[in-house]
Amino acid sequence: MARVALVSGGTRGIGAAIAKALKAAGYKVAANYGGNDEAANAFKNETGIPVFKWDVSDYDSCAAGIAKVEADLGPIEILVNNAGITRDTMFHRMKPEQWSAVINTNLNSLFNMCRPVIEGMRERSFGRIINISSINGQKGQMGQVNYSAAKAGDIGFTKALAQENAAKGVTVNVICPGYIGTEMVRAVPEDVLKKSILPHIPVGRLGEPEEIARCVVFLAADDAGFITGSTLSANGGQYMI
């Protein structure tokens, strides 16, 4: 029987690519989304992947949403925490709500999404949790103190949870994408892209969402059971550690 995979923020951008790739690899996939009904319905119609709406920053919403997914598809065995937002501004101008919104959606969501599934994964002696962080969680980024803090927290969360669950057959890994050619990044003015972004990427181009999706499919596989607590950087050589 096909394993069940849940992708948060799974109807647009990198998340949509991940959901499609997991389906193509034979998984039963559910895609969570937060607010854009039009995009979610278009994604569902295009792919046939069921979509589920809830706010990943709210624990009760996550618990209820995950229960609905499991009732419809079966126990969640692969969880991809991809949902994220930005509220960019220099720290000395940052408002408390800009800080809280990013921390709640990009970091606290990992607790909210993992806690309802972790006991089942441990009981079944199998699970794959894959968190999507960012290059800016590794190196920091001016104007993104909130985002960088949250994404760095995702990495620490991954390493600790991996240690707790390795003996139970549950792996926990994190992917740190660099600049990926999503709708948001491609909206950057071309001159800014050519002068300020691409020169810092040794491979000389943006990444593609599908390249991140292939990383997820690799880590989600049954054969990836010896890989846990790892940080996979997919940034075209922009930041090497």
- pLDDT band at residue 188 using 50, 70 and 90 as cut-offs: confident
pLDDT at 86: 94
Report the C-alpha gap between 38 and 111 in whole angstroms.
28
Asked whether 46 and 93 are in contact (CB, 8 A), the reply is no
Digit-coded pLDDT (tens) for 92-140: 999 999 999 999 999 999 999 999 999 999 999 999 999 999 999 999 9
pLDDT at 192: 86
DSSP letters spanning 29-76: EEEEESS-HHHHHHHHHHH---EEE--TT-HHHHHHHHHHHHHHH--E
pLDDT at 1: 83
Query: Is pLDDT above 90 for 82?
Result: yes
pLDDT at 239: 97
Whether 179 is a known active-site residue: answer no
| Torsion angle in degrees (nearest 10) through CA of 161, 164, 165, 168 | 180
Q: Structure tokens of 152? A: 């760095």
Report the C-alpha gap between 178 and 14 in whole angstroms.
12
Mean pLDDT of the chain: 97
Coil, helix or strand at residue 90: coil
Higher pLDDT, 185 or 236: 236
Query: Is pLDDT above 90 for 185?
Result: no
Digit-coded pLDDT (tens) for 40-73: 999 999 999 999 999 999 999 999 999 999 999 9
Candidate list 59, 147, 179, 239, residue with the active-site label: 147
Mean pLDDT of 19-34: 98
Query: Is pLDDT above 80 for 184?
Result: no
Query: Is pLDDT above 90 for 32?
Result: yes
Residue type, 1: M
Mean pLDDT of 220-238: 98
Mean pLDDT of 26-31: 98
Query: Each residue of 153-181: b (16+ CB within 10 Å) or e?
Result: bbbebbeebbeebeeeebbbbbbbbbbbb
- pLDDT band at residue 168 using 50, 70 and 90 as cut-offs: very high
Query: Is pLDDT above 90 for 187?
Result: no
Give the up-direction half-sphere exposure of residue 163: CA atoms within 13 A in the CB hemisphere. Answer: 5
Mean pLDDT of 217-226: 98
pLDDT at 88: 94
Residue 48: how many CB atoms within 10 A of its CB? 9
pLDDT at 77: 98
Bridge-partner residues for 53, per DSSP?
33
pLDDT at 29: 98
Pairing of strands 4-7, 170-177: unpaired
